Amino acid sequence: MLEEKQIPYIVEKINMRCYGPKPPDFMAKVPTGLLPVLELDGGPPITESLRIMVLLEQEFPDHKPLVPRGNSQEVQRWEQLMRLERRLFSDWLGWACSDWNQAMGKVRCEALLDTIEKELKVAGGPFFFGKDISLADINMVPMFERMVASLAYYKGFFIRGTGRWPAIEAWFAALEQRPTYLGTHSDYYQHCHDLPPQMGGLYFSDEGYPVAAQIDGMDGQSWRLPLPPLSATSLPEPFSAGDSPPVDTLEAAASLIKNHEAVARFALRGVGKPGPRPVSAPLSDPTAIPALEHMAAADMALRHVAHALLVGVDEKQVSEHALQVTASEPSGPAAELTGMPIIPAAAYLRDRIGVPRDMRFPAARQLRAHLNWLADSLVAAVA
C-alpha cells in the first residue's frame, strides 16, 4: 500500500516469536507483540492492519486513492470485500489446520474460490474494482498467496495453473506484473516453512506429499539443473512474471557476492553446533555456532557457485576454473574441495534462502539448483 501510494516510509523489522524473543524496546511500545505496527510521523504506535490502512488512506488524500470515495454502492462493496478476506482466512485455515474431514474443508474452499472468482468479474477485472488496484486487492493478497501455497503443499490442491478459476489467475497475473507487489511476493517454499511455526500445525492429506516433495526439492529433480521454465501455468508453482535465466542467475550471484563473508559464515552453521537458546522454528537457530575453521573451504565453494551462476556449469567445467573435487583432504592452498564439510554447509544454505528477503523467486531457484550442483559434485567424488 505504501509503495502504491508512494508514501515515504522506513521499515523496522521485528521477528516473529517463533524466531526468538522480540526486542525489549519493541515490547515496551507494543505489549501484545503483534505486527504490523505503524508509527505515523513519530506518533504513538498504531496496531491492526485494517486500521492502519484506513488511516493511511485518510492521512494521504493527495496520493493515489485506493479506497472508493463517495459512491455509496462502491463503499458498500468495499466493506463486503473486506469481509470476504476474513472468510478466506477462516475457510483456508479451517482446511489447512484440520487433519480430519478433508472433504468438508475442500468443499468450503472451493465455494469460497467460486465467490472470489465471481467478485473479480463484477467490474471486468483484473482487479476487484476493475483495471486499477485498490485496497480490496492489497488486503486480500497476503492471505490468498499463503492459501494458494499451503493448499498445494499440504493438500495437493491447485488453485492456480489449472484454468479452473480464470479470473483468479488473471488477478495474480496482474499483481505479478507490479514491482510494488513483487517486493513482498514470497515463494511456496518460504510460505510452507514459515506458516507452521507461526500458526501451529498444518496437516497433510495424501495428495499433499508428492507436491510437498517437489516444492521442497526432495524429488531429486525440481531443485536441480536444468530448471524448467517458469510461467503462469507452471506447476506446482506458477509465476506469471516468468523467469529469465541470464538475469536470474546474475541476481543470485550478486546477492551471494555482495554479502559473501556473512553468507559463508551462515552456511557453516550447517556443520557447526546448535545454539544455546534454540527457538521453535525448525529452520531457524539464531544463536547457532558456525564451524569457522572451515571458512576457507566454504569461501572457495561459494566462489565456485558464483562462477557457475555467471557462466553456466557446462562452460565453467571446461574453463581453467573448473570445480575439482578430491576424495581426501587437499594439501596446501588447493584449488580442490573435499565433500566434508561443504556438503552439509551447502545444503544448510540452500534450505534457508529467503524470498523475497534475499532475492526474487526466479533467482532463488537458480541459487538452490547451483548449490545442489556443488553438493552433488562433492557427493559423487566422495561416494
Ligand X SMILES: N[C@@H](CCC(=O)N[C@@H](CS)C(=O)NCC(=O)O)C(=O)O
Is the peptide bond between 290 and the residue preceding it cis, with omega within 30 degrees of 0? no
Query: To the nearest whole angstrom, how small is the minimum distance from the Cβ of residue 194 to ligand X?
Result: 10
Helix (H) or strand (E) holding 263: helix 260-267
| Candidate residues 9, 39, 48, 293; the one interacting with ligand X per rule CB under 6 A | 48
Query: To the nearest whole angstrom, how small is the minimum distance from the Cβ of residue 98 to ligand X?
Result: 20
What is the footprint of ligand X within residues 14-33 (CB under 6 A)?
A: 16-17, 33
| Candidate residues 7, 35, 173, 288; the one interacting with ligand X per rule CB under 6 A | 35
Query: To the nearest whole angstrom, how small is the minimum distance from the Cβ of residue 370 to ligand X?
Result: 33
CA neighbours closer than 13 Å in the CB half-sphere of residue 353: 28
| Candidate residues 2, 7, 30, 49; the one interacting with ligand X per rule CB under 6 A | 49
Report how far residue 208's alpha carbon sits from residue 161's, in angstroms, rounded to the nearest whole number.
Answer: 16
Phi, psi of 210 (to 5 degrees): -65, -35
Pick the piece of the chain touching ligand X (CB under 6 A) from 34-42, 107-115, 257-265, 309-317: 34-42
| Candidate residues 34, 103, 122, 289; the one interacting with ligand X per rule CB under 6 A | 34
Q: Which residues contact 366 (CB under 8 A, 6 or more apart)?
A: 227, 245, 248, 249, 252, 309
Query: To the nearest whole angstrom, how small is the minimum distance from the Cβ of residue 36 to ligand X?
Result: 6
**Total number of residues binding ligand X (CB under 6 A)?**
9
Query: To the nearest whole angstrom, how small is the minimum distance from the Cβ of residue 138 to ligand X?
Result: 13
Of 338, 187, 339, 352, which Cα lies nearest the Cα of 267?
Answer: 352
Query: To the nearest whole angstrom, how small is the minimum distance from the Cβ of residue 120 to ligand X?
Result: 23
Closer residue to ligand X (CB): 34 or 380? 34
Residue whose C-alpha cell is 503483534: 34
Q: Which residues contact 24 (CB under 8 A, 6 or more apart)?
A: none
Residue whose C-alpha cell is 507452471: 234
Pairing of strands 324-325, 46-47: unpaired
Closer residue to ligand X (CB): 17 or 303? 17
Report how far residue 243's alpha carbon sits from residue 361's, in angstroms, rounded to the nearest whole number.
Answer: 9
Closer residue to ligand X (CB): 17 or 164? 17
Closest-by-Cβ residue to ligand X is: 49
Of 149, 181, 166, 158, which Cα lies nearest the Cα of 3?
Answer: 181
Is the peptide bond between 356 and the residue preceding it cis, with omega within 30 degrees of 0? yes
- Cβ 54 vs Cβ 65: under 8 Å: no
303 sits near ligand X (criterion: CB under 6 A): no
Query: To the nearest whole angstrom, how small is the minimum distance from the Cβ of residue 115 to ligand X?
Result: 21
What is the footprint of ligand X within residues 177-206 (CB under 6 A)?
A: 198
Helix (H) or strand (E) holding 38: strand 37-38
The mark string for 217-246 relative to ligand X (x by CB under 6 A, - otherwise) is: ------------------------------
Sign of CA dihedral 146, 149, 151, 155: negative
Closer residue to ligand X (CB): 259 or 287? 287
Pairing of strands 336-337, 324-325: parallel
Helix (H) or strand (E) holding 37: strand 37-38
Closer residue to ligand X (CB): 102 or 139? 139
Closer residue to ligand X (CB): 136 or 305? 136
Query: To the nearest whole angstrom, how small is the minimum distance from the Cβ of residue 49 to ligand X?
Result: 4
Closer residue to ligand X (CB): 48 or 329? 48
Query: To the nearest whole angstrom, how small is the minimum distance from the Cβ of residue 197 to ligand X?
Result: 9
Interface positions with ligand X (CB under 6 A) = 16-17, 33-36, 48-49, 198
